[in-house]
Amino acid sequence: MTIPKRTVIFLAGVLIGLVIVSHLRRGHDESRRERDKIADTRSIPGMLLDYAQRGQAIHNDKGVLAAETGPGAEGFARTRRVLTGGRARFDEAGNRLPDEYLLITEYYTAPGEPGPASPVARYDFAYADRVRFEARSPADRVAAFEALRPLGAHLRLDPGSTTRVTASWPKPALDSVDRAVALLKAVPGVTGVAPVALDWKTQLMK
């Protein structure tokens, strides 16, 4: 059976349209991923970057909400974790966006309780109000949501992915990330759970 010429032209047009839309969508997703990456590197307030650059403990910053010291890790004598507010954010219309929170881990080589004058050998910065994970299916995302209910978390798919998910919650505590990671690891269909780390050294170059 011969297919009418008009039908062939119509089908070819539909195919070309789908290719164009797919290309535009892919470009949009890549652009959004790049914006998210840039936003991550700009989420650390300048004052905290100053502390890190000087190797100084974050004690006196007005944004500190909680802090605790703990045993050493990765060859260091002591660690100290600090919960602090992030940089103020606004949308394109100038409206204030929800606060972000940061979790900073300070590493000390000297034993004993670190104080404001104790030199810090290393810093790790991460968001205190979110983690990322992989979910094998939509049903697994539902199970993850139920597991994170105690934190009041909500989930969103990462741009351009059907399996990578960011879970975030309001008003975090020092242990919120640890709790979220433990809760998600108990969900069989969830893999690759990790905090959302921030590279403070990259931000220094912005």
How crowded is the C-beta side of 110, counted as CA atoms within 13 Å?
A: 8
Considering only CA atoms, give the Rg of the chain.
22
Integer Cα distance of 148 and 167 in angstroms: 8
Residue 83 has pLDDT above 70, yes or no: yes
pLDDT at 140 over 80: yes
- From the CB of residue 195, how many other CB atoms can be counted at a distance below 10 Å? 18
In this prediction, residue 35 carries a pLDDT of 42
Distances (CA, A) of 167 to 82, 86, 150: 21, 17, 13
Amino acid code (one letter) for 165: V
Tell me the pLDDT tens digit for each residue of 10-23: 555 555 655 444 44
- Kindly report the pTM of this predicted structure: 0.75
